[in-house]
A and B are shown apart, each in its own frame.
Chain A
């Protein structure tokens, strides 16, 4: 028997999309029945209380949670978000209901054994409600009491060799697309670099010393499946600098209609027969493709690697073999001065172990931002405040035309003194000898 009536939430049980309400009810029943005789460490009926408090929000159209300042386990400054219910008498099971972030395996592959271990731990010491996964990429455990935090951490580290993720003014849990594990377009091993940097920078991930949050994201190619360019302070996007590999026979097979365009992505509608001019050559943003008789030609020096032609004809075209990544910096959500996407910093860098060059770029940026970033200033905002030139200076890089979309619109250049012959100190008496007052 359900603890609370939930007439509003019940209306979210119908319709084809998986109902989170049905799922929560099932979890509530599972805990109530307790067939495995688990000694639940937080109230057995906490999931009933979640349903109750969310129903109340649906009725009031107002949230019923408060923030708490609790941060994590001993010695860590992140990984836990404090959460308290603002109706604790009505919903005692969720009166204290903190979130834990658990660092996901890169690429988000799992074995069922491992997932079950996490489930058992979380059912036993928490609500058994989780996010697979949170926006940053972590596995999120939703809802446990303060005294369980250390216990969960102890069990996780001792039994499952698993650590928490980041929150607060930390390096946030890095994330990546599935990369070379199953994508033919990946220009580097996104999972490996993500894994190695996660481990290299554990101190930055757990012990906050940054002005604000900092994110790394790794996309294997310019298709951008983890949205690195929009979401990460440092966005790593795979690219190549040699020629697109062409299989001319396969090109003909596309033209002849043997292979479905765009890997079959458009098969739900009749778009007519494939037309390589209309669908590929004319849509190439740099107009660097043409047919030479039966041969597809690409002027690779003009290609900007947008991926369109490759996406349309994956059996005929592949990225080149001399691959690496571009590093762009400074993306952030709109608050406060508007959203920013990452800006190009390093057009090409090899992404190979031990990643020394990449670490050098990272640490140069951190040194600058940690010292000169204001409290709660994201990297992108610091770059805006102090200027892109300053970013180049602090990372020891030369300005190149790839850094800009177009040159500046105004001539108000802040010349450095040492760039102007003779410097800024001048002799006004000498000047007056030739110019009357």
Chain B
């Protein structure tokens, strides 16, 4: 599959699940793409630079989500204009 298709597949899959789950581990994304971690990382990194994915971190672990999706920003008391 071409890189662009893979990226779309990741976005589609994440959007589909966004009702219940908005944050994904790296390995979840690699699984969606059906790729080994190293090549998967290249594509995921591109998606971050293209602002198609953002990070969320617990401090000890990091997760990926679609930009602006999820409840955490609200609970953190930090909205965009703030």
Q: Do chains A and B touch in the complex (CB under 8 A)?
A: yes
B80: min CB distance to chain A, Å: 10
CB <8 Å contact, B55 and A71: yes
Say how far B32's CB is from chain A's closest CB, in angstroms: 14
Residue B20 lies at the interface, judged by CB distance under 8 Å to chain A: no
Contact of B62 among A75, A96, A170 (CB under 8 A): A170
1/0 per residue B37-68: CB within 8 Å of A? Answer: 11011001100110000011111111000000
Tell yes or no: B17 within 8 A of A by CB: no
> Across the interface, which residues of B come within 8 angstroms of A211, CB to CB?
25-27
B57 touches A209 (CB 8 A): no
B78 touches A (CB below 8 Å): yes
- Cross-chain contact A84 with B57 (CB below 8 angstroms): no
Question: In the docked arrangement, what's the CA distance between A203 and B45, Å?
Answer: 10
Are the C-beta atoms of B49 and A81 separated by less than 8 Å? no
B56, A71: Cβ atoms closer than 8 Å? yes
Give the residues from 194 to 246 in chain A that come closer than 8 angstroms, CB to CB, to chain B.
203, 207-213
If A67-B58, A68-B78 are given as contacts, then 11 extra A-B residue pairs at C-beta distance below 8 Å, sorted by A number, are: A69-B58, A69-B72, A77-B48, A77-B55, A84-B78, A167-B60, A169-B62, A203-B45, A208-B62, A209-B37, A376-B60
- State how many angstroms separate the Cβ of A227 from the closest Cβ of chain B: 19
CB within 8 Å: A-B pair count: 94
Chain A neighbourhood of B78, CB < 8 A: 68, 70, 84, 96, 146
Complex-state Cα separation, A170 to B57, whole angstroms:
11
A interface with B by C-beta (< 8 Å): 66-72, 75-78, 81-82, 84, 88, 95-96, 146, 167-170, 203, 207-213, 367, 370-371, 375-376
Decide if A69 touches B56 in the complex (CB within 8 Å): yes
- Among A72, A84, A167, A209, contact of B77 (Cβ-Cβ < 8 Å): A84
Complex Cα–Cα for A208 and B73 (A): 20
Q: How far is the CA of A9 from the CA of B49 in the complex (A)?
A: 45
User: Shortest Cβ distance from B49 into chain A, in angstroms?
Assistant: 6
Q: Are A375 and B57 in contact (CB under 8 A)?
A: no
Query: Whole-angstrom distance from the CB of A53 to the nearest CB of chain B?
Result: 15
Closest-CB distance, A347 to chain B (whole angstroms):
29
B26 and A209 contacting across the interface, CB-CB below 8 Å? yes
Taking a contact as CB atoms under 8 Å apart, the answer to whether B59 and A167 are in contact is: yes
Q: CA–CA, A294 to B26, complex, Å?
A: 64
Contact B61 A66 (CB under 8 A): no
Contact B60 A168 (CB under 8 A): yes
Closest to A69 in B: B56
Which A residues are in CB contact (< 8 Å) with B77?
Answer: 84, 88, 95-96
Report yes or no: B57 in contact with A70, Cβ–Cβ below 8 A. yes
- Asked if B76 contacts A207 (CB within 8 A), the reply is no
**Which residue on A lies nearest to B36, using beta carbons?**
A371
Bound form: Cα–Cα A123–B31 in Å: 44
Q: In whole angstroms, how far apart are the Cα atoms of A84 and B59 in the complex?
A: 13
A78 touches B62 (CB 8 A): yes
| B38 / chain A contacts, CB cutoff of 8 Å | 367, 370
Known A-B contacts A84-B76, A169-B62, A213-B60; A72 and B25 likewise in contact (beta carbons under 8 Å) = no
Q: Are B37 and A371 in contact (CB under 8 A)?
A: yes
What separation, in Å, do the CA atoms of A75 and B60 have in the docked complex? 18
Contact B76 A69 (CB under 8 A): yes
A72 touching B26, Cβ below 8 Å = no
Q: Is the CB of A208 within 8 A of B59?
A: no
Q: Which residues of B lie under 8 Å from residue A376 when comparing CB positions?
A: 60-61
The closest CB in chain A to the CB of B25 belongs to A375
On whether A82 and B76 interact (CB within 8 A), knowing A70-B57, A71-B56, the answer reads yes
> In the bound complex, what is the Cα–Cα distance between A353 and B28 (angstroms)?
37
Show 25 residue pairs from A and B whose CB-CB distance is below 8 angstroms, ordered by the A residue: A69-B76, A70-B76, A70-B78, A71-B62, A76-B55, A77-B62, A78-B62, A82-B57, A95-B77, A96-B77, A96-B78, A168-B55, A168-B58, A169-B60, A169-B61, A170-B62, A208-B62, A209-B37, A209-B41, A212-B60, A212-B61, A213-B60, A367-B37, A371-B36, A371-B37
Contacts of A76 in B (CB 8 A): 55
Q: Which residues of A contact B41 (CB under 8 A)?
A: 207, 209
User: A71-B62, A77-B62, A207-B41 known; A375 and B27 CB under 8 Å?
Assistant: yes
CB distance from B78 to the nearest CB of A (A): 6
The closest CB in chain A to the CB of B40 belongs to: A209
A78 lies within 8 A of B57 (CB): yes
Query: Min CB distance, A165 to chain B, in Å?
Result: 13
Do residues A209 and B44 form an inter-chain contact, with CB atoms below 8 A?
yes
Q: Chain A contacts of B40 at CB under 8 A? A: 209
